[in-house]
Amino acid sequence: TNRFKLKLGCWTTIDCNGKTVIIAFSLVPAGEPKDAFVWAFKMFRKHLGAPTVKFTDGDPGMAGAIQIVFGGDGTTHLLCLYHIFTSLFKHMRKLFGSDKAAWRAFVDMFWRIAKRSDLRSRCEFAAEFAELTALAQATTCCDEKTRRLAFEWLAELGERREQWAARFTWKHLTLDVHSTQRAEAIHSALQHIISSSDKINKLWEKVQGFESDRCFRRFMDQHRRELVHLVPTTELSVLVRDKLVPILTEEALSRVRKQAQLASLYSVVPDDVLEEVPENQECNRVYKVTYSRPEASSSGGTGSEGGGVGPTGLPGGRVDPSRTGC
């Protein structure tokens, strides 16, 4: 692609498990002209249909192409908040000079405006944005031209409120997506496996292989999540679900499950709280085991390394053998 100065762009969406999926990719000239985007969008629409919601970085050529190709399909064009803030820094930061406190106040107010999601506050947006603009107008840095261009950009941002402010965008189903972060992450990962000298067929094979590998990993992740339901409801379940499932194999999880079942035979109480053992305890022998809380002890229980799962089955529990009763 380097020979023709083309840029790779991946089209991503979210599957039923909340994972990122590559559904298409395109190669457009490095200058990203609008007619190239129009062609790419037409091909997408022809083979996959029009998207309900599309996030972009605010590129003018892409915005025009979306209107031309998807304008009659009801596609909602939303803006990436990350790229908006990048542009905000580029256009507005210089106005504040060395006054870091004023700049922080400006940024904090911008994010409050951007994230406020109450639909009833739509009528208050204009007043809030005017207050934001007033903070910038109170500065005295930069020449007149720089200030004029900065405030023209800020005014345009306010006019495009329905594309980025949460009180307007949250009426659309975006599956908790508010930026192009997922596509950026895919592009970042692909940089490690593709080369600018790859031929188009090789590029296709690498992108396909990359997505196939990710699908396999998603399958294994789902399989491991299902194994969690086989673990009995004990204090160990929290550790298994949050810490061990992402890194253990099926065999290792099977062993942990057996350990959890053995741990359920014990009734463990802290040494500062003594409670009666329930009468319906399903075991023929009950061990009252006192243990030191992890934050109050640095010794490992029964010779094991600290921080592991002790013989009681308690995550992080440390047992003092001299204080264990039968």
- Structure confidence by residue, pLDDT tens digits, 263-281: 666 555 544 444 555 555 5
pLDDT at 76: 94
Alpha carbons 178 and 164: distance in angstroms, whole number: 8
Q: What pLDDT, in 10s, does the model give residues 101-113? A: 999 999 999 999 9
Estimate the share of the chain in helix, then strand, then coil, as percent rounded to the nearest 5: 55, 15, 35
Beta strand segments in the chain, E: 6-14, 20-29, 53-56, 76-79, 267-268, 288-292, 318-324
pTM: 0.62
- Least confident range from 173-182, 226-235, 242-251: namely 226-235
Model confidence at 22, pLDDT cuts 50, 70, 90, reads confident
Identity at 170, one-letter amino acid code: W
89: three-class secondary structure by DSSP: helix
Q: What pLDDT, in 10s, does the model give residues 114-144? A: 999 988 899 999 999 999 999 999 998 888 9
Q: HSE (CB half, 13 Å, CA atoms) of 111?
A: 9
| Paired tokens of 188 | 């970042």
74: three-class secondary structure by DSSP: coil
Residue 236 has pLDDT above 70, yes or no: no
| Paired tokens of 181 | 């972060």
- Greatest mean pLDDT among 18-32, 87-101, 174-188: 87-101
Average predicted confidence (pLDDT) for the chain: 76
Torsion of CA 260, 262, 263, 264, to 10 degrees: 90
